[in-house]
Structures are given as structure tokens and as C-alpha cells.
A and B are shown apart, each in its own frame.
Chain A
């Protein structure tokens, strides 16, 4: 416990140092945030264009899909804020700078995850919040404490699921120098798949998203409960409450994969 607190304290210190550094170039920072905010709307424009042609996608209305989109994108934006720099991780393997990480007195995963903190990702987070607010404002949800808890839980669990997926798949970089793009298929691919109701996918893909790379637990299952919608796929109601447990399981697997990959790492340097 003391260790955990100590790690957390160190993390806060590192983040504060990075914030100070990044806020030095104020104009560049503001433009970056506005830029990311605008680009993030691109996928959502695609969804709006789809709904300009049809009233529903499967059994989901535009506002309902906006809810899925909002939850999934917010979770992913938070993930991007915390570990987005993992995109550059394969480069540290190639350069050999990962060897430095191995000799420092902190866990490797802690060092790699805290290596950067890109505050400009706030642009994406605010876009996700705008869409989520739009969804909630237009949906007339019958709010109860349970529903609010499931919503917040979904964002937190979703973030943990995405972080775990990212950590697990970036381990490909230990074997091939081209790890980034393969990892992108799971991370960016995962969030995009989570933005739509999984009901519209074919059975093999739905199963894959429920049991293998469980992004169905990020937005789809929690949203069913928040909306009071029976699952057209026949999953039981309690599945909406399992996202935190799934997140814990995925995190456990990701830790295992990382530990195993680092143990098998052989530096190219002499």
C-alpha cells in the first residue's frame, strides 16, 4: 500500500512537471487543443451523415448511438491522455533507450506509462464530453442512482480496458520494430468498433468483442442498462454491471503479458 501511494505521489510530480513544460508554449498549446477538438468531430460527422439517411441503425436511434460514442470516446480520450505516448514505444526499443528503463529502480511498466503526459489531448476529451452531453440531453433517460453509477463506472472501466489493451498489444514491439501499426488496429480499431452498437456486427465479430478483446463492455453493455433497453442479442441484464470486473481481468492479463515480454527482451545493444 505504501508502495502504491509512493508511486502515485511520484506520478503526480511527473505529471506536474510535464504540464509546466507543455504550458510554456501557450499559443502552440491552445492551437493544438482546438485542433484536436475539431478533428475529433470527424468520426461523429460520419455518424450524423448516416442518420441523415436512416432513423435507426439496428434498433438504435441517433441519440442512443451518440451515447455509445460519447462513453467509448471519453474512455479512449482519457486513455490517450495517460498512455497515448505508447505509440512511440516501439521507437524506444529500436533506439535501445528501453535499456535505460531496465536499470532504474522502478517497475518498467510504471516508467513506460509515466514517460509522457500529453495535455493537448484535452481537445479530444472535451469533444467526447460535448457528444455525451448532447446524447444525455436528447435522450430523456429515467435517471436513478444505479444508472448514474453505471455511466461513471463505464467510463472508468472503459479507460482501464483500453489502457490494458494498449499495454498488452504494444508488447508486439519487443519482437518487431513495426509494432505501432499492429497495435493501432486494436486501439483505434477497438474504440471505433465500440462507438457503434455491436448488434450490427456479424456473430463472429460480436463474440470477438465480447470475449476476446472485450470492448463491448466499454459502452454497449452499460448503455443497455442506462437506456433500459432489453438486449436484442439476448445477453442477461446483469452483464451491464460486469464492466469493472472485466476491466480488472483485462488489466491482470495485460500485466502478465507485459511482464512476460520484458523477461524475454534481449537488447540489440552491446
Chain B
């Protein structure tokens, strides 16, 4: 048990270091996030120049939403994760199968390490840039901060399981790009990354609520800005936990099925 945990920690450290190796990419990325942070913030302010409240948001919380989503984008890695798919394509996956840790568990540990790096270097800096120019709403109570941290960890786990699932389609499909694109689209819209889910028309909000995607962005943001409070926070965290567990199980199942039909050529 302890040995397994130590192994997880080792994988997490590797995940952290992999991304720490490219500081220039980090600076460029923060710049991109800041550009889009300003854009989103001004668009939402123009919206709230005419309305005082939309779905529990006001001008200040909406601007906070704009910067927080930019801060979370790399942590939860919405776009362009193809690591597993590429390993399946190249056959490198065979090496992972003989390692002592299950690839899914190792992958999750690695991804949580990566997420920590991205939170520190890609999350906090754009948020600070936003805080220099706008008045952002911060949680007042340490309990809310704690709930937010837990929520982000669960968000990364849900996002990881989804990424693992669509990557696993490479076991069956010659070209997994189509699946990647469709899931990426659904993720950016229904997670509330582009526009908060509470702004959606009723029917579309209901569609979003039936998917795991709000667990990736909308729920952590709602906890942070205080749109959900008290016991609602616990319900929100439970929702994320349920999705994380269900999707990890599905990811494990899909991987096992995929491995069964895997043929790696070469000796």
C-alpha cells in the first residue's frame, strides 16, 4: 500500500517536472490567457451594463469568472491531450503494460503532478494580471478555499478520465481526431468555459447538467465566487466525486477492452 503510494508520488513528480522544463512556453501561455481574460471580462461587463443579475452572477463575479476560467484552462487541460492515443498508435503502450503500476493509475498520478505545475505557473499569474486591472471576488472563508481546492482536484480527475476515454478510442479507430474534436467541443461549451452554464437557455442548461462537463469548470468556479454556498457546496463536491468515480471505472473498462484487441508488431 505504502509502496504503491510512493510510486504514485514519483509519477506525480515526473508530471510536474515534464512541464517545468519549458519556462518560455509558460510565459507565452500566460500572455495568451491574459489576452482572452481581458476579452471575456469586457464582453461580460458589457452584458452586465444592462442586467444586474443573470443566473446568480453579477458584474463582479462575472469578471472573476472570466479570469478564473483562464486560470483553470491548463490545470484541467481542456484541449489537445493526445498522450495515450499517441502511445497506442506508436505501440509504446506495450511498455506501459509491463510496468508495475496500472497505466490508468500512473497516468492519473502523472496528470495530478502536471496539474499542480499548471496551477502555480499557468493559473496564478493570469489571475493576478486580472486582479491588477479589475476588482475580483475572492472567497472570504478558509473553508470555501478548502472546498475550492478539493473541487479543482476532482475537476482534474474528471477531466483526466474523459481525456483517457476519448484517447482510448485510438484502440479501435485509425484516426481518433474526429472523436477528439467532438469531445473537445462539448467540453468547451458544456463545462461553462466559454459562457457560464447559468447563462444558457433553460433547455441547453439542462443538457449541460446531464453531462460530466460542468464538473470540470463550472462547479469549481461557482464554489469560488460563492454562487453555491453551505450544503450546496457539499452536493456540488459529491456530484464531482460521483462523476470522477464513474468515469475512472469506465476508463479502466475501456482500456481493458482495448488492450484485449491490441496487437503490437515488432519484436
> Which residue in chain B gives the minimum CB-CB distance to A181?
B28
Given contacts A46-B194, A50-B43, A185-B35, contact A39 B200 (CB under 8 A): no
Which chain A residue has the least Cβ–Cβ distance from B24? A178
Shortest C-beta distance, A266 to chain B (Å), equals 18
Known contacts A57-B46, A58-B46, A189-B36: A177-B199 contact under CB 8 Å: no
Of the listed stretches A155-163, A192-200, A230-238, chain B binds A192-200
Binary B-proximity of A44-61 (CB < 8 A = 1, otherwise 0): 011001101111111000
The total number of A-B Cβ pairs within 8 Å is 88
| Chain B count of residues within 8 A CB distance of the other chain | 35
Q: Cβ of A17 < 8 Å from any Cβ of B?
A: no
| Contact assessment for A39 and B185 in the assembled complex, using a CB-CB cutoff below 8 Å | yes
Contacts of B22 in A (CB 8 A): 178
B170-195 residues at the A interface, CB under 8 angstroms: 175, 177-178, 181-182, 184-185, 188-189, 194-195
Distance, CA A181 to CA B43, complexed state (A): 23
Tell whether, in the assembled complex, residue B24 and residue A176 are in contact, meaning their CB atoms are under 8 Å apart: yes
Q: Are B43 and A200 touching (Cβ within 8 A)?
A: yes
Is B54 part of the binding interface, using a Cβ–Cβ cutoff of 8 Å?
yes
Q: Chain B residues near A57 (CB, 8 Å)? A: 43, 46-47
Q: Are A54 and B201 in contact (CB under 8 A)?
A: no
CA distance A246 to B22 in the complex (A): 37
Contacts of B42-78 to chain A: CB distance below 8 A: 42-43, 45-47, 49-51, 54
- Residues B46 and A200 in contact, CB atoms below 8 Å apart: yes
How far does the Cβ of B192 sit from chain A's closest Cβ, in whole Å? 11
Give the A-binding residues of B (Cβ under 8 A): 22, 24-25, 28-29, 31-32, 35-36, 38-39, 42-43, 45-47, 49-51, 54, 175, 177-178, 181-182, 184-185, 188-189, 194-195, 199-201, 204
Residues of A within 8 A of B (CB): 28, 31, 35, 38-39, 42-43, 45-46, 49-50, 52-58, 176-182, 184-185, 189, 192-193, 196, 200-202, 205
Task: Known pairs A39-B181, A176-B24; list 13 more (Cβ under 8 Å).
Answer: A35-B181, A39-B185, A49-B200, A52-B199, A56-B50, A178-B25, A181-B25, A184-B32, A185-B28, A185-B31, A196-B42, A200-B46, A201-B42
